[in-house]
Amino acid sequence: MTVCKQRENRIRILHELPYRLRIRISVLHDPAFDPVYLEAVLLNVPGVEAVRFNLKAACIAVRYDGNMQNRELILACLENIPHETFQADIHREPVTDSLSVAINGILAFLTPALPRPFRPPLSWGLALPTLTQGITTSLTEGIRVETLDAAAVGFSLLRKDYFTANIIVFLLALGGYLEQLSEEKTNALLRSLLRPQSEEVWVERDGQEVKVSADEITIGDLVICGSGEMIPVDGEVSGGEALVNQSSITGESVPIHVQPGDEVLSGSLVSEGRIKISARQVGQETTTARISRFLENSLRFKSKTQKQSDILADKLVPVTFGLGLASWLLTRDIRRAASVLTVDYSCAVKLSTPVAVKMSMFSAAHCGVLIKGSHALDALSRVDTLVFDKTGTLTRGILIVTDIFPLENMSEDELLALAAAAEEHYAHPVAKAVVKAARERNLEMLSLSQVDFIVAHGVSAYVEGERVLVGSHHFIAEDEGIDCSAADSLAREIRGQGKSLLYVARGDVLEGVIALQDELRPEAPEVLRQLKHHGIQKIVILTGDHRDTARALAARLDAVDKVHWELKPEDKAEIVRELREAGHVLAFAGDGVNDAPALVTADVGICMPGGADLARESAQVVLLKEDLNTLVAAKEIADNSLEIIQNCFTSAVGFNSIFLLLAMCGVLPPAAAALLHNMNTVGILGYAAMAGKKPPQCFEEGEQACTHP
């Protein structure tokens, strides 16, 4: 947290209108400054509509709703820029503005009309940035596209063809501006769909734990976060210990141990343990630009297909340079060599992939699916095996308590109240069902002093001073060694009805069992058949349920190939690992904290909309709507994205090869070659954007299905 303190940040309002602020900020000149990150932070300030940067002048323009209170929030945000805005490893392309492009164009076309003495200094001045960048790139990275651009402009200047040199500089600037515009548009489309959702959190007030909206947290509140939950505030740990995963904030993948006195950041995940946090910054002040960081991280790791395309494109740059040099050596025609050097393969290949990926992500988000970048798209397109965790995926995950069977001296209400007290803080469908049933009966929640979520189908809690265990038969009988034989005959009868059982023990005694029933999603049978149609060869179901319950469900799903029952979370991850080792490209769909190991182990992790924070963070694909048809849409979009990327590569190589051949033959002058090359690049980017934005076929007939999630 010291990074922010070490930077002296001065802001000054340069110009102000009722709905617009133009502000100079000193830290915008910092090399580590990430403008996209700060833009995302500002866009989450109430009333802010648009943000534009002028990094050269260290200025920022903010358009907002004119509300004076929101104006103060904007200024406060800029005075206290989050330290996450400064990333040491950040790499930003030079920003091209429309004014400089227009000036370049005007001067280029006016070159023939200028007096001869003015042409050389003007042309060398316009070309200087291109030449400097080309020389710097050659010295630091070897022969790249910038080298070709600098050589083409330099050759034209040496032969005193100033008009051609200036036209090439203008076309390069115009192409860069259009590419940048395309990038901004795709990012803006994604931001419009991926704003942070409102959430509920636990806070301690007057000694009681209560659930409130994240917007209602005030400074000084004690916020309680357990395993699998996202920390909603910036603050200091005041009680408890935990392992906290800050990878989405700092990029550090190893969870850190926190204890009283340590600081924690909004957006971090509690991997294990339970802590109380004294809130220091709340509401909009804690927004850590998750959208921007998500966009940056999702595109940082390239897919296998993209890597192969980029490698080939990079290899073709020296080939183009060699052909240009060979043309000059053979013909002694610098003009022909300059024409060859204006044509390269790299731009269209490398720029079209991020555009196609982000537009596919936009299309998927519009249909209710969050896909985390090119790697996830590429992997999803190659998936041949799909593994489902049963509860909350193929079933609705909305369990209903159907029967309560006390075994000792407790009443039904007493048994239910005991189980609900232990389960109240557990974000799992079983826990939600028990708590809901208790509230429907207006049962008073017993006091809870300590709770541990055992990642093996159970909860251990101290309710009114006594240890209470709630979970599966395996957890209670085998892991904890409690005698459950008194419920054996009852359990067989209930499971025969397709119901699940929850065992409740206090101390070392089984107090009773609770029967629950889950409903199969009505669309599940058809969705599984559709997935088989889209290339999924094998569908597997994993569940912690008893064999009879699992078989009853599988009998209703004719597309299922195999079912595994009575599994622990580590068993699920092991089955996923074995399938991968057998050569399958595998996707795993789940929704709970317990599913995180399997989500990470699979080639593609898919999380349901009601999934725990840890599961959503671990997954590469997150369904945003309670409809399994969105999974079919995700698969179709992934297949389409791979096809778009391959088409862009083929078009870039094909058309540029034709231009290169014409340039070598002397048919294309340098300016025409540059024009055709840039038009081809922009055209391919346009195709990538439009084709990627197209909704999947499975949603075209029902347009209402593709709506804002």
Cα gap 485→248, rounded to integer Å: 47
User: Contact, 684 vs 692, CB < 8 A?
Assistant: no
- Among 335, 315, 350, 328, which Cα is nearest to 153's? 335
Which DSSP string corresponds to 424-472?
TT--SHHHHHHHHHHHHTTPPPPPEEEEEEETTTEEEEEETTEEEEEE-
Query: Hey, which residues does 274 pair with through a beta bridge?
Result: 241
Cα gap 393→39, rounded to integer Å: 36
Which residues touch 132 (CB under 8 Å, ≥6 apart)? none
Backbone angles phi, psi at 445, to 5 degrees: -75, 125
Q: Which tokens sit at 590?
A: 């789940």
Which helix (H) or strand (E) is 589 found in, with range?
Answer: strand 586-590
Cα gap 420→471, rounded to integer Å: 12
User: Contact, 336 vs 156, CB < 8 A?
Assistant: no
Q: Which tokens sit at 508?
A: 């070392």
CB atoms within 10 A of CB 369: 27
Which residues touch 446 (CB under 8 Å, ≥6 apart)? 417, 418, 421, 463, 464
What's the distance, Cα to Cα, between the start and end of the chain in Å? 35
For 171-261, list the strands marked E by DSSP.
Answer: 200-205, 208-213, 222-225, 234-245, 256-258
Is residue 30 annotated as a catalytic residue, yes or no? no
User: Contact, 54 vs 60, CB < 8 A?
Assistant: yes
Q: Which entry of 314, 389, 595, 613 is annotated as an active-site residue?
A: 389
Cα gap 352→183, rounded to integer Å: 10
Q: Is 436 left (phi over 0), alpha (psi -120 to 50) or beta?
A: alpha
Q: Which tokens sit at 509?
A: 């005694």
- Total count of residues recorded for the chain: 709
Helix (H, G, I), strand (E, B) or coil at 568: coil
Q: How far is CA 634 from CA 235, 369, 378, 566, 587, in A?
A: 37, 7, 11, 30, 12
- Among 506, 515, 315, which Cα is nearest to 414's? 506
Residue type, 313: A
Which residues touch 212 (CB under 8 Å, ≥6 apart)? 200, 201, 203
Which helix (H) or strand (E) is 62 found in, with range?
Answer: strand 59-64
For residue 694, the 8-state DSSP code is S
Task: Count Cα atoms within 13 angstroms, Cβ side, for 701.
Answer: 2
User: Contact, 265 vs 14, CB < 8 A?
Assistant: no
For the chain, state the CA radius of gyration: 30
Helix (H, G, I), strand (E, B) or coil at 687: helix
Locate tokens 């699916």: which residue? 369
User: Contact, 479 vs 458, CB < 8 A?
Assistant: yes
Q: Which tokens sit at 433?
A: 């069902």
Catalytic residues: 389
